[in-house]
């Protein structure tokens, strides 16, 4: 039983045998040219159009064999290829009379080539159906021409040997090719998993090194047992907020932004940083433009609450800045290219009437 047809994007035995290479196209071109020459030079008087029709059928079959995707071949194409050899053979067969030369029965050899590659592409059963039909056509032709069934069979029975070898070859090579693709896919998945694990470990090491740099001095100060000063408490609050920002807004966790946040919080401003992933995949120019705007907003805040949020991907707004004080609220929105969209910088701030989020 033939395997189900796989998706066209899945690697198949065509890649192993190079059906889509320039060499394969060159081979098909030679096939078409050779049988065109034979058809023209071996046709009996008055049968040239039958010969050319048979040649066209076999040429289209050869082209389809290397261009149609799927492993095994899709059933409609398989049926067409199987019938092509039988139809082409009968078109020519009943235009010749005994005695004949071997080249006059050229469609049977062309069909044999098609059937051999059908075996490789997972349709050996259909190839045998086509070959048996061709042998039957020869036997009927022999009987009608008065030379008998056996004589008609002898004209093409020799073609069974190559088809048998092709069937055996396909029986061996197809499972091996599937195993090759399975191993390649496993290797790809393994490399991807190793890369992901390495990235996780590198990120962990980076975070630990960062934590060691920023937290160790304060932890050593706390471990000393001396009373904490107001500056120590402020440092601890800023450190806690900084660590929270690196987790909640990693896209905004740059040294320049971190310094600006610390300075803003030191002035008594509550700063909230949120990152929903909208900056992932954005060009460096967009990222730098937004970070400059964020830093300007931090530098200009002297009281109240400043909330900066990177929105999820595929939104019309990429980043919002909401600055709330006891007197008013200002909301700035930046589009996918990092430019201010609403309100414009020249619009006065709006008096606070209802609470709103970024």
The pair phi, psi for residue 306, each rounded to 5°, is -120, 115
Instruction: Tell me the pLDDT band of 16, cut-offs 50, 70 and 90.
Output: low
The Cα–Cα gap between 343 and 320 comes to 11
Residue 319 backbone dihedrals phi, psi, to 5 degrees = -145, 140
pLDDT score of 322 more than 70: yes
Which pLDDT does position 354 carry in this prediction?
38
Q: Has residue 23 got a pLDDT over 80?
A: yes
Please give the pLDDT value at position 15.
Answer: 65
Kindly report which listed range (3-17, 92-106, 117-131, 303-317) carries the lowest average pLDDT score.
Answer: 3-17
Mean pLDDT of the chain: 82
**Residue 268's pLDDT band (boundaries 50, 70, 90)?**
confident
Whether 1 shows a pLDDT value over 70: the answer reads no
Task: Output the pLDDT for position 32.
Answer: 93
* Mean pLDDT across 144-170: 87
pLDDT band per the 50, 70, 90 thresholds, residue 11: low
**Please, which pLDDT band fits residue 42 given cuts at 50, 70 and 90?**
confident
**239 CB-side CA count, 13 A:** 16
Per-residue pLDDT tens digits for 181-220: 778 888 888 888 888 888 888 877 876 776 677 667 767 7
Tell me the H-state helices in the chain: 13-17, 22-42, 48-67, 75-93, 106-120, 124-144, 149-154, 160-223, 230-248, 255-266, 284-300
Q: Across residues 40-68, what is the average pLDDT?
A: 90
pLDDT of residue 115: 94
pLDDT reported for residue 351: 41
pLDDT at 9: 46
What DSSP designation does 270 have? E
Joined together, the tokens standing for residue 50 give: 């039958």
Q: What is the CA radius of gyration of the chain?
A: 38
Please say if the pLDDT value at position 6 is more than 80: no
Give pLDDT tens digits for 93-123. 888 887 777 788 899 999 999 999 898 888 9
Q: What is the largest CA-CA distance in the chain?
A: 120
pLDDT at position 135 over 50: yes
pLDDT at 152: 83
Mean pLDDT comparison of 77-86, 205-214, 341-350, highest-scoring range: 77-86
The pLDDT score that the predictor gives to residue 86 is: 94
pLDDT higher than threshold 50 for residue 355: no
pLDDT at 201: 85
Report DSSP letters for 293-353, one per residue.
HHHHHHHH--SSEEEEEEPPTT-S--EEEEEE-SSEEEEEEE-TTS-EEES-TTSPPEEP-
- The pTM for the full model equals 0.53
Q: What's the CA angle centered on 175, arms 174 and 181, to 5 degrees?
A: 90
Element (H, E) at 271: strand 270-275
Of 321, 210, 198, nearest to 255 (Cα)? Answer: 210
- Pair of tokens at residue 272: 């909230």
- Residue 136 has a pLDDT of 93
């Amino acid at each position: 039983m033939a395997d189900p047809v796989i998706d066209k994007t899945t690697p198949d035995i065509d890649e192993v045998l190079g059906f889509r290479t320039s060499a394969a196209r060159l081979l098909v071109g030679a096939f078409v040219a050779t049988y065109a020459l034979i058809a023209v030079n071996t046709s009996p008087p008055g049968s040239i159009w039958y010969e050319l029709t048979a040649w066209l059928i076999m040429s289209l079959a050869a082209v389809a064999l290397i261009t149609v995707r799927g492993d095994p071949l899709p059933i409609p194409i398989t049926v067409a290829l199987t019938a092509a050899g039988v139809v082409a053979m009968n078109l020519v067969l009943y235009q010749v009379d005994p005695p004949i030369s071997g080249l006059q029965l050229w469609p049977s050899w062309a069909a044999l080539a098609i059937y051999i590659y059908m075996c490789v592409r997972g349709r050996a059963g259909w190839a045998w159906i086509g070959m048996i039909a061709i042998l039957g056509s020869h036997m009927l032709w022999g009987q009608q021409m008065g030379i008998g069934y056996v004589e008609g069979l002898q004209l093409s029975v020799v073609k069974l040997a190559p088809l048998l070898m092709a069937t055996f070859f396909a029986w061996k090579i197809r499972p091996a090719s599937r195993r090759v693709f399975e191993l390649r896919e496993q290797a790809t998945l393994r490399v991807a998993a190793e890369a992901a694990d390495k990235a996780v470990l590198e990120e962990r090491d980076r975070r630990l090194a960062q934590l060691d740099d920023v937290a160790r001095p304060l932890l050593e100060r706390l471990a000393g047992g001396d009373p904490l000063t107001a500056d120590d408490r402020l440092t601890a609050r800023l450190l806690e907020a900084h660590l929270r920002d690196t987790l909640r807004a990693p896209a905004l966790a740059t040294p320049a932004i971190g310094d600006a946040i610390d300075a803003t919080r030191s002035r008594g401003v509550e700063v909230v940083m949120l990152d929903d992933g909208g900056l992932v995949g954005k060009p460096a120019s967009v990222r730098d433009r937004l970070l400059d705007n964020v830093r300007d907003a931090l530098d200009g805040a002297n009281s109240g609450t400043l909330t900066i949020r990177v929105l999820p991907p595929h939104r019309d707004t990429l980043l919002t800045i909401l600055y709330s004080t006891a007197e008013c609220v200002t909301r700035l929105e930046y589009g996918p290219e990092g430019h201010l969209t609403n309100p414009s910088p020249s619009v006065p701030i709006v008096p606070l009437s209802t609470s709103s989020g970024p």
